[in-house]
Structure 1
Amino acid sequence: MGRFLQFNKMPLLLLFTGVLLYSSFAYDLVREDFIKLVTLYAGLFFLSWKLVQLKKTDFWFLATAALLFRLIFIVSLPNLSQDFYRFIWDGRMLVAGWNPYLYLPEDLVATGTGPVEQASELYTGMGELNGSHYTNYPPLNQLIFALAGIFAGKSILGSVIIMRLVIIAADVGILYFGKKLLEHFKLPAYQIFWFVLNPLVIIELTGNLHFEGVMLFFLLASLYFLLKNRWILSGVLLALSVLLKLLPLIFLPLLFNFFRKKLNPSEKALGLGKMLLYYSVVALVIVVGFLPFLSMDTVSNFAASIGLWFQKFEFNASIYYVVRWIGFQVKGYNIIATAGKVLPLVFILLLLVLSFFRRNRSLQQLISTMLLAVIAYFLLATTVHPWYVLTPLLLSVFTRYKFALLWSFLVILSYYAYSNPAYEESYWLIAVEYLAVIGVFGYELFKEWREHRNTERSPAEV
């Protein structure tokens, strides 16, 4: 009887400990304190793993824990990211009837001509680097920022709360559709908690107000309705995902074999017709989303801002840092301008290979290919912020791959850069992160290949 009570008390003890650790993270942490950050994060990661292990059959207990941990952050200001100040700025611009894609915050602050309340405070908060570039957040993101501006008025904390509630609602949607997909694939439903209870998800989305979670909600809903043969609704949802973050655009070519190979040879034309309809719906919704902001200046400014991520910014990269080092040895200077153009071309080639030569007959195969595509994209990228890892993490839940779970733990090491005034990264820590992740990823690929080869051989051997 004593052992029974002890066993049942353990999840509650873990839950209480999680509340304390997340409270410390939300209200008593600065990102410069790297040791405390990593210690808290490691504790939370172990705690989440243990909760899922102990309560994997109690879906509602884990769901309640996930919601409780998120609500802890509700009245806190993000402490690991300054981006939310730009979100509030853009939202207030839009509410005032100004196109946020056409104006630089630094210009409006310098001239005092902008319509933004608390302009100086928001500009100081977002930082000179952010304030000197045009916004790169797509229209649906801007709409959420505007909602915060409408309902929170001049309150910065109020704006944060509104945006946070949207992000939490999206996480609930991910839990709903994720459970349904796992049940369809005959996988354990608790696997969705490797995402929903993951401290990286809770901290970077609810805590730091990054909108990858809302994007992933629309993406997951799109995949679910694709499974249900509701092509048009799936296309609309995929387009909404793109209107939050542009990343899902890389998944469009992967649908080619999914549409083509699902059908019988006699239905090939019908498959092509559905595929073209699907792409048309996605394109139409995206165009309609951008239409209210459309002008030549908007296109130019938005493209220039996006281009910075490929040819100017560097953070927590892997293959690119190796290429850059080789460039220094050969050229004697940083070759990001060249590498930022070549590496995307390498990715496009890999994407075409995955699109036309990998079997994507089932939705589960498609998700697996999407995971491979997005990991290739990030391994070749010049900038990989911790919250970027959330996309491969969610996709991995529906596959046999576990490397993204490891990555979600190790990526916190990249915050070392903020622990020193010069914002210098530790290449040793980056090496630890990527050698471990790529090592596990390579092993899982090899294991899959070996199992596939053995499966093909076995009939002949019999």
Structure 2
Amino acid sequence: MIHYLKKHKTITLSIITSVIIFCFFAYQLERRNFYELIFSFSFLFGLFLYQFNKISSWKLLVFIAIAFRLIFLFAIPNLSQDFYRFIWDGRMLLNGLNPYLYLPQDFILGNYIIPNQANELVNGMQELNASHYSNYPPLNQLCFLIAALLFNNNILGSIIVMRVLLIVADIGILYIGKKLLISLNLNPKFIFFYLLNPFIIIELIGNLHFEGFMIFFLLWGIYLFQKGKWKIAALLIACSISIKLLPLLFLPLFFSRLKINELITFYSVIGGLTIIFFIPFLSEELIHNYSKSIGLWFGQFEFNGSFHNLIKYIGKQFDVINITKILGKTTPILVFVYVIYLSLKRKIENTITLISFMVLTLSFYLFTTATVHPWYVAMLLALSIFTKYRFPLVWSFSIMLSYSFYRDENFSNNYLLLFLEYAIVFGYMMYEFTTKKNPA
């Protein structure tokens, strides 16, 4: 590997430059400095594409993918404050308390035995997060608990533990993703569209979002499903759902891949294991609190939506009252109808078609929902690697424009940049749909 770097000096220079910019992202950049963020990220993304195309050494690709992640090991996330809630939930569990039943702000205002560094954690997660019940599924909570077990009174220590877990998840994605690509007769190097992408490194490793574990379990499940081991695949898909609920969208797509009796068993295993994971948290208030938190994402929160903002604008022109609540109720229905349509559209005869329909389903959801944080695109990018679609790769670049929302204290949308983000994505997507007659 060292001989390879000595021989290819331009590649070596690109790697060194990437290291410097990643260090800037990890330890210097502030979220409000949008122009520094977008310029630095654009440079990183260009270096990523260069490295993907020019580096032929598999060992070097793996090495720099891991090395870039390790740069963030001791950094406190600077683009998202969600990690404070993760640490809070883990310490709640360590104290024998159910994180689904209590609001963080109640602990500060009430007479509860509060977790260590409670004031710092609540201030860090900010009022919006502190005033709502936790919506992170059970296996995600397990990750938080591990961090609390090892560091119950040290925020940076908890961050390091969670970051190590996420790096391990990405190593798992490397291993299983390569095997799945080979089994589908695709270029195994495609896995580096995910692993080397600065969007993934910054959003998942840097900002501590657990989509990596969700993706790992889902890809592992798809790989085993491809090999005919659908019962074990069901267990892994349940694990993926128990990290983040998003894979629930894909369940109808398995209709045509199994016989009726197999299908019943498949869904029963997924549903049963998901329920089992929730059993330690069961109480009369759990369903109410959890559904309330999930409902808020559809009916109240808004960030970086595309068609949602367009329809909202049109609704206001016609004086439609409570347009956000109306859209919040109709969007899940539209997504459900769309995924059923896809599952019945034609028989899904192979795994590439199955994954392609997953990409279409998730895209439809993200294009219609009110809230699209950057890390939401991670799953879309990971799945697209196994298809002919590359618009998610383009979106993994343009979605960073959404950080313009934080450029001042007013936290307001820059609709010109929002339009540019989606114009780039839709433009490339239309190009793919018109030039690739059968992308699935």
Query: Could you tell me which of 405, 409, 414 is aligned with 1:421?
Result: 409
Query: Could you tell me which of 271, 283, 293 is aligned with 1:305?
Result: 293
Shift of 1:334: 5.0
Alpha carbons of structure 1 residues 450 and 249: separation in structure 2 relative to 1, 3 Å: closer
What are the superposed Cα offsets for residues 152-191 of structure 1, whole Å, 9 maximum, x if unpaired? 1201000001100110000011111111111122221111
Shift of 1:333: 4.9
Show the counterpart of 1:161.
160
Show the counterpart of 1:276.
264
Query: Could you tell me which of 366, 378, 382 is aligned with 2:366?
Result: 378
Show the counterpart of 1:42.
42
The letter for the 2-side match of 1:44 is: L
**Contact 2:221-2:236 within 8 A present in 1 as well:** yes
Show the counterpart of 2:257.
258
Q: Is 1:315–2:303 an aligned residue pair? A: yes
What are the superposed Cα offsets for residues 349-371 of structure 1, whole Å, 9 maximum, x if unpaired? 11110111133111111001100
Show the counterpart of 2:190.
191
**Contact 1:30-1:80 within 8 A present in 2 as well:** yes
What are the superposed Cα offsets for residues 199-243 of structure 1, whole Å, 9 maximum, x if unpaired? 110001110000011100000000011111111211110000000
Alpha carbons of structure 1 residues 153 and 450: separation in structure 2 relative to 1, 3 Å: closer
The letter for the 2-side match of 1:441 is: M
Alpha carbons of structure 1 residues 102 and 5: separation in structure 2 relative to 1, 3 Å: closer
Cα distance in 1, alignment partners of residues 200 and 315 from structure 2: 35
Q: Is 1:430–2:418 an aligned residue pair? A: yes
**Contact 1:174-1:217 within 8 A present in 2 as well:** yes
SS in 1 for 2:8: helix
Q: Is 1:392–2:392 an aligned residue pair? A: no
Show the counterpart of 2:133.
134
What are the superposed Cα offsets for residues 271-292 of structure 1, whole Å, 9 maximum, x if unpaired? 2222211111111110100011
Q: Is 1:87–2:75 an aligned residue pair? A: no
What are the superposed Cα offsets for residues 362-391 of structure 1, whole Å, 9 maximum, x if unpaired? 111100110000000100100000000111
Show the counterpart of 1:341.
329
Show the counterpart of 2:16.
16
Show the counterpart of 2:63.
64
Cα distance in 2, alignment partners of residues 106 and 148 from structure 1: 22
Cα distance in 2, alignment partners of residues 63 and 418 from structure 1: 34
Shift of 1:443: 2.4
Cα distance in 1, alignment partners of residues 286 and 99 from structure 2: 9
The letter for the 1-side match of 2:336 is: I
**Contact 2:433-2:439 within 8 A present in 1 as well:** no
Show the counterpart of 1:52.
52
TM-score, normalised via structure 2 length: 0.97
Q: CA RMSD in A?
A: 1.5
Show the counterpart of 2:30.
30
What percent identity do the matched residue pairs reach?
A: 44
**Contact 2:374-2:399 within 8 A present in 1 as well:** yes
Q: Is 1:351–2:339 an aligned residue pair? A: yes
Q: Is 1:97–2:81 an aligned residue pair? A: no
**Contact 1:344-1:380 within 8 A present in 2 as well:** no
Larger Rg: 1
> What is the total number of aligned residue pairs between the two structures?
437
Show the counterpart of 2:313.
325
Show the counterpart of 2:432.
444
Gaps of 5+ in 1: 260-270, 453-462
The letter for the 2-side match of 1:31 is: R
Shift of 1:448: 3.1
Show the counterpart of 2:356.
368
Show the counterpart of 1:73.
72
**Contact 2:5-2:11 within 8 A present in 1 as well:** no
Cα distance in 2, alignment partners of residues 118 and 165 from structure 1: 22
The letter for the 2-side match of 1:67 is: I
Cα distance in 2, alignment partners of residues 61 and 5 from structure 1: 9
The letter for the 1-side match of 2:404 is: Y
Gaps of 5+ in 2: none
Show the counterpart of 1:412.
400
What are the superposed Cα offsets for residues 392-425 of structure 1, whole Å, 9 maximum, x if unpaired? 1111111111100110000000000111101001
Show the counterpart of 2:146.
147
SS in 2 for 1:127: helix
SS in 2 for 1:449: coil
